Structures are given as structure tokens and as C-alpha cells.
Amino acid sequence: MSIKMLEKSNPASWLTELPPLGMDAKSITTDFRHYFSHTLGRDRHAKYANYMYEALALTLRDRLWERWKNTRYAYEADGGVRRAYYLSMEFLMGRALSNAMLNLGVNEPVNKALYEMGLSLEELAECENDAGLGNGGLGRLAACFMDSCATLRLPVVGYGIRYAYGMFRQRIENGYQVEEPDHWLRSGTVWDLERSEYTQRIKFGGRTEGYLKADGEMGWRWLDTSDVLAVPYDVPIPGYQNGTVNTLRLWSAAATDEFDFEDFNSGSYTEAVGSKNMAENITMVLYPNDSTESGKELRLRQQYFLASASLQDVIRQWVRVHGEDFSHFAAKNCFQLNDTHPTIGVAELMRILMDEHGLKWDDAWAITSKVMAYTNHTLLPEALERWPVWLFRKLLPRVLDIIYEINARFLAEVARRWPGDIDRQRRMSLIEEGYEQQVRMAYLAIVGSISVNGVAALHSDLLKQGLFRDFYELWPDKFNNKTNGVTQRRWLASCNPGLNKLITDTIGPGWVTELSELRKLIPHADNAKFRTKWRQIKHDNKVRLASLIEADCGVVFNTDALFDVQVKRIHEYKRQLLNILNVIHLYDRIKRGDTANWTPRCVLIGGKSAPGYYMAKVIIKLVNNVAKVINEDPTIGDKLKMAFLPNYRVTAMEIIAPGTDLSEQISTAGKEASGTGNMKFMMNGAVTIGTLDGANIEIREECGDDNFFLFGLTAQEVEARRSNYDPWAIIHGDADISRIMHLLESAHFNQFEQGIFDPIIHSLTSPNDPWLTIADLRAYIDAQARVDKAYRDQELWTRMSIMNTATSGKFSTDRTMLEYNSEIWKLKQLPEMPLT
């Protein structure tokens, strides 16, 4: 590597000690001008928002950097504090600028400085690309966790992958989704720091070879590998006005210096450079599948790359301070695995401890099984990762040997507990037998972890009863629940400045770090003046959302109508179809003149489909076709509007959630593990229409049945219903539903595109429809009628809205992180840093 230690120089100790940077408007202006003219080299001709944005970002970055250094020093004190590492294939961070401003506490001076320089913050902020390194809920959760850990002063490091291409950009062409690559790094990013000095080497391929160690024991070597380098880029994660800046370390793949030396020597220069591309391919692109495994070799490479680089990095730091003494390693370190994606780390840690540091199996296992903790994110069987054994053997032969050994020892334990129960051993084996043998990654995670958690109360219960039942019987104490949350800094304070101000003026600023304080708003729900202010802010936010929709969809939403929103990944279990069927029902009612006491409604649906998910893509087309028919029909007018918002992402949600009246959380009960979109909406004063699924159950517990529109089968009823489900009987027995289905079947929404919605009609009317959409349709239509009635009483509705925000305290990731910490990580919260 080309990084050189100093040898001849002897740097002065004061070299890295600098006076604190000013946080006032004057200092900010001075630095801004310096960056614009000197660092970026622009002059008076360069009236470009991008360079102005960059100058501001660099100004703020310096202030993050100095707090970052102090935080690192604090974590290093006394031989190093106990730390947790959050391993995740996805971090859906969104933009960093306004978050940095809020958390550094410089909103006021920055606004003042920009005003004096004649610049608009909003215009500059628009220049930043979203860091879209995630698919949806799972990746956004990781981002919210990082924010809360920094705010709580918990020594937690995030480890992930720096994909060159994040989540694809979605365009809509003739109603269909079109994917475009998201080359978010093309214009660079100022929000990370390359740290080549901590580069790691990752092995792939090759073969294993046994040998006799000096102590007479058998050792293993992994030879003839094709190595790839992992280069870390550190992203600063500022806590809320507390002087703490934590680290998210993202790995990028690079070819080794000596890559395919042989090819060079044999004259195959271009082939050699080609293999360099192969190495760097590993971190090229995020897999855009949400809640489904992809089973591709490159994906397994990415997973091992993340796990190996991160674990080697932690061990490197350990050895630097403690040498080869690992006796306290488990007391000082803890790894939280975000779903099964990084669980290969269980075997990888065993490999590093044994093969590279000479530990015996039992000692290595005593450490590994104490430091790993696993979070499950889904009950969908199609999402459970399994890797073919042949692929593992080809790519990671040494790691596979270790998995076999873990399995043999584990199955012996199962046999001791249930002697002779061969069927149970087969069920619990880490290796699934069959046409081709597969490694069950979730089982590897459970066997190797001290803790296994689900992400909402119902989900954690269903794991124990279903998917992981055998493991629960063996180790009941491993299983626990950690209900998800979102950070109120991004999802209320920053994205909803109007409500932020009203809340802070009313109950003080404590809620920003202690969300349960929002309860103090409850008495104000009965105050008519307060309700008027609340309604005005919601209206302003609807104006902002309506202009986004007009710009991106060309559809005009009337801001006095009910804004009814469903944004999330497009997936059959989330049942965007149920929503569309109700919209068709409303359209049908208008067409037949059933409009007495009508509540005008604007329906927004948004979300990306996995590029290979055929049904989800047809659903997007259906939304667009139904919207077109409705929006172009002058007899419908302002009574009903519908739009599909293209390219749903974090930055869009920051405008959507504040402007929403009704939050659609209508998954088939038992299928949505938790949901977090539901929490963002609740916090911003939207009322939920929802099933008893995931965290909806806990949301309803908090806000009360009066402030929630409940409908549909329970998870238990869903399972009971499957054996006697007859959608046709329901359709024929219900005049409204018959008419909806007739409109679909008569190609009313696809007059010139015959047959394109047949797959949807088939799945809705199949007795085997796993999502039981028609079973819940009547109850959903009735619940929507209750919504209409409630919305017509604006005082009542505003009260419900206030009550939702006021009771959303539980859904802060601050609460979630404190639970992980007190029950799993057991880290000390650090004292506040001097530089705040």
C-alpha cells in the first residue's frame, strides 16, 4: 500500500490541536468565502448553486471533523470503552446538510450568513444527492439508529458498503416503471473521509490445507486465493447538539496492487485490467430487492466482503491495544447483525480468531457466540437467505468448513436435548438437504448469537411460534423484541419546521431528545385556538406537497381535500391493490351519482418495485391507468384525484409525511414485520387507516382506538381463513365489490391495452391469493367511509391529528436504542463532550 508512516519527521504534539471553530454567522461567512474562492477556485462568474452548496457543506464539515476527533479520543480512553458495531448491507441516509445544521445547532447563524450573502438555503440544499444506499425500511432503520446512538452518546460504529450506484432512480413512462442508474458519487460527496491507512485484504476462492501447528494441534490454511482490498470511507454521524460525532464506516472494493501479475507478465495487459474491474465490481451496485433474496454470486461476495472487512478492522484495533490477548474481547465488543445479510460474520470471526490468531475452537466459539446478536426483519419465507453449498465451496471454502463444524457441534447439542428426534435435527440443521444443499443463514445467525430479536411485538411473537419455533424451544432466553422507531430529529424537527415551532412554543424543546414529552400536547387538543394553528400548519405542508406532486406528476391536488397517502416499496403483501380497489369504488360512486355528503379526496401512491418483480410492476401500471381515467374525467373534478409519485426516496418522504392527512398501513396481517413509514406519518399528525399488523398494533395502543381507523382480519384470522377462502363468493355477494371487479374485467382502465391487468384479476380472485385482498375489501371500504365522515368534521379531525403526534413518543429510535443497549449491548453512555 502506498500509505507511508513518518520515519524521519517528528511531528510537534500541538500540530493536531487547534482552537475551536466559530459557530457564529461571521465565522461561517468567512469560511464559506474561503471555500468558494480558494478551495473550489470559483469567482464572480460562478453563480452556480452546486458550488455554493459545496462551500457551505465544507464549512459545516470542518465543524463535524473537530467534534469527530474528540469523540474518537473519548472512546479510546482507558484502553477503550465497550463498543457495539452495527453491521448492515444498507444505510439509507438521504441528505446530510440540513441534518448536520440541526445537530450542530447552527440553523440560526447559517440562515443569517446565507441571508447576508444573498443565498437561499433551500436552493443550495437541492443540490445534494440522496445517499440512497438502501432499499427501504431496513436501510432507513439503520440510518435512524445511527442518529439516535450519536444523540445518546453510545459508542456505536456502523459498518456498511459504499456502493458506487445506490437505489435506482425510478421514472414512469406510459405508466410503467423505468429504472435508471443512480451514480450518486459522480459529482463527489463532501460527507465522507477516505481512510486508506485502514485498508483490509479480503480472500476469495482458492483451497484449504491442513497442517500440524507447533503445539501439535491441527491448523488450517486458506491458499491460492484471489484477494480484494477493502478501503474504508468514514461518514460522520453527529449527535443532537452534544459534541458527539460517531462513525459510519463504509467499505469500497479495490484491486490489490499485484492483481493478476501473471497476466501482466504473459502480455495480457487488458485481461489483467479487466480482472481489476472484477475486483472493484463487488461494491459497484446495491441489489434493489426489498424483502426477497436474490441468490446471486456477487451478492454473496458483497456479504462476505462487508463481514470480513469489518471484523478484521475491529480485530486490528484490538490487537493494536491488547496484543494477542483475547480474554476480554467479548467483554468489550458486540456486533448487531441487521438481518441475515451480514451473518456470515459468525463463521468469519471464528476463522479470524483460529486461523489468524491461533485460538482453539472452544475459545473462539466462547467469544463468537457471546458477541453476535441477530435482528430478524421478515416472516416472508421468500426473504430467508439460503446459499447453495457449491457456491460457498467455490467462493469461501474455509468459511464453509467452519460452518460444517458449527453445524456438527450444534446438531450434537440438539441430539442430547431430544435423543432420537431425527426429524428435528433435519429441521434445525444449518444445511438444508434436497436437490441442492443450501446453507440456512438465519439458522447460522441464531446458533451463533447471544440474542435474537424481531422488530415489533407481534412480529417477535410470530417468530417464536412459527419460523424459529424449534430454536425457541431450545433457547427461549435468546428471543426478545425491539420495536422499531424513527429519529424525530429528521422526521419531525427538520422536515416539519412549522410543526417544530408550534410544538416547541407550546411545550418547550425537550421533545427533540425525549419524544415522550409530546404527551404534554394532549391537553392542547381541546384548545380551539391551538387546533386552528395546527390546521394551518398542516395546510401549509399540504401546499408544499401539492407543488411536489404537480411538478413530478402533473396532477393538481386541491389542498382542502383529504390527502390520502400510501408510499412504500411496491409489494403484494403491502396491498397497494386494496387501496386502488377502494379508489375505483369511489370513482364508481361518483359516476353513479352517489355523492351526498362527499368528502373530496386526493390519493397519492408512490414506491419502487424490484426490477424483476413482475406483479409489482403491473400494480404500478394499474395505479397510473386508474389515475389517468379519474384525473381526465371532468365529471369527477375535485371530488377525487389520484397520482403516482415517481422516485419515492428519503428526501421525498421529508415533504410527504408533513403534508399527509391519512396514512395507509394496510398490509395483510402477519406480513409487515414492523413498518416505520407508519411512525413517520403518525409523528407528523397523520391519522392511520390500518390492519392489526406490525407496529400498527402498538401505534393504536398508544393513540387509542378513537384516533385510528382499524379494519381487517387479524394475523390469526388470516391463517384460519386460508383453507376456506372463496373470493368469488365475496364478489357475488357484495354489489359494490361486483362493480369494482366488473370495471377491472371490462378493461375500463385499459381500453387500448387489452389483457394487461389479467395477472392482477387472477391473483385477486384466486382462492390461493396469499394476501387475501378481497377478504378485507368490504371492511376497508367501510373504514374509508368512517374516514370521510370524520374528515368532514375538521375540529374532530384536527383533534385526532394532534392526538397522533402527542402519543407518538414510543416510536423514537432513542427509545429503541436504549432498549438494545440495556438488554443486549450494555454500553456506557459517554458524558457530554466539551465542544457542543
Ligand X SMILES: *Cc1c(COP(=O)(O)O)cnc(C)c1O
Helix and strand element counts for the chain (H, E):
33, 25
State in Å, rounded, how far the first CA of the chain is from the last one: 37
Least separation in angstroms between CB 12 and ligand X: 47
Least separation in angstroms between CB 656 and ligand X: 9
Residue listed under C-alpha cell 446495491: 286
The phi, psi pair for 778, rounded to 5°, reads -60, -50
Nearer to ligand X, 496 or 676 (CB): 676
Nearer to ligand X, 377 or 639 (CB): 377
3-state secondary structure of 337: strand
The string of DSSP codes covering 772-832 is: -HHHHHHHHHHHHHHHHHHHHSHHHHHHHHHHHHHT-GGGBHHHHHHHHIIIII-PPPPPP
- For residue 662 the three cell numbers come to 391519512
Least separation in angstroms between CB 685 and ligand X: 17
When binding is defined by CB under 6 A, the residue of 341, 377, 542, 568 that contacts ligand X is 568
Nearer to ligand X, 676 or 801 (CB): 676
Residue 271: count of CB within 10 angstroms of its CB: 12
Least separation in angstroms between CB 571 and ligand X: 8
Select the residue whose beta carbon is closest to ligand X and give its number. 677
Q: Which helix (H) or strand (E) segment is 451 a member of?
A: strand 451-454
The reply on whether position 810 binds ligand X by CB under 6 A is no
Span near ligand X by CB under 6 A; candidates 134-142, 621-629, 704-712, 783-791: 134-142
Nearer to ligand X, 140 or 482 (CB): 140
Taking the CA atoms of 615, 619, 625 and 626 in sequence, report the sign of the dihedral they define: positive
Nearer to ligand X, 282 or 666 (CB): 666
Q: Which residues in 376-437 belong to E strands, given as ranges?
A: 386-388, 431-432
Residue 532: count of CB within 10 angstroms of its CB: 13
Least separation in angstroms between CB 142 and ligand X: 12
Tell me, by CB under 6 A, how many residues bind ligand X. 13
HSE (side-chain half, CA atoms, 13 Å) at 7: 2
Q: Residues 453, 480: contact at Cβ < 8 Å?
A: yes
Least separation in angstroms between CB 577 and ligand X: 16
Least separation in angstroms between CB 97 and ligand X: 17
The string of DSSP codes covering 726-743 is: -HHHHHHT-HHHHHHHHH
Q: What span, in angstroms and rounded, lies between the C-alpha atoms of 280 and 283?
A: 6
Least separation in angstroms between CB 813 and ligand X: 12
User: Under rule CB under 6 A, which residues in 621-680 are in contact with ligand X?
Assistant: 648-650, 653, 675-677, 680
Nearer to ligand X, 521 or 666 (CB): 666
Q: Residues 454, 697: contact at Cβ < 8 Å?
A: no
The string of DSSP codes covering 21-77 is: PP-SHHHHHHHHHHIIIIIS---TT---HHHHHHHHHHHHHHHHHHHHHHHHHHHHG
Strand partners, 643: 604
Nearer to ligand X, 68 or 709 (CB): 709
Angle at 102 between CA 96 and CA 105, to 5 degrees: 130
- Enumerate residues 6+ apart whose C-beta is below 8 A from 641: 555, 556, 557, 558, 561, 601, 602, 603, 630, 631
- Enumerate residues 6+ apart whose C-beta is below 8 A from 267: none
- For residue 256 the three cell numbers come to 490489490
Q: What span, in angstroms and rounded, lies between the C-alpha atoms of 484 and 284?
A: 30
Q: What span, in angstroms and rounded, lies between the C-alpha atoms of 778 and 785?
A: 11
3-state secondary structure of 577: helix
Q: Which residues are catalytic?
A: 377, 568-569, 574, 676, 680
The reply on whether position 136 binds ligand X by CB under 6 A is yes
Q: Residues 347, 399: contact at Cβ < 8 Å?
A: yes
HSE (side-chain half, CA atoms, 13 Å) at 804: 32
Nearer to ligand X, 54 or 664 (CB): 664
Nearer to ligand X, 109 or 646 (CB): 646
User: Under rule CB under 6 A, which residues in 678-697 are in contact with ligand X?
Assistant: 680
Least separation in angstroms between CB 797 and ligand X: 22
Nearer to ligand X, 132 or 397 (CB): 132
When binding is defined by CB under 6 A, the residue of 61, 83, 95, 140 that contacts ligand X is 140
Angle at 727 between CA 723 and CA 729, to 5 degrees: 105
Amino acid letter, 688: T
Least separation in angstroms between CB 569 and ligand X: 6
Residue 118 burial class via C-beta count within 10 angstroms: exposed 0-12, middle 13-18, buried 19 and up: exposed
- For residue 563 the three cell numbers come to 390527502
Least separation in angstroms between CB 575 and ligand X: 12
Nearer to ligand X, 289 or 312 (CB): 289
Least separation in angstroms between CB 568 and ligand X: 3
Nearer to ligand X, 478 or 680 (CB): 680
The reply on whether position 137 binds ligand X by CB under 6 A is yes
Footprint of ligand X (CB under 6 A): 136-137, 140, 568-569, 648-650, 653, 675-677, 680
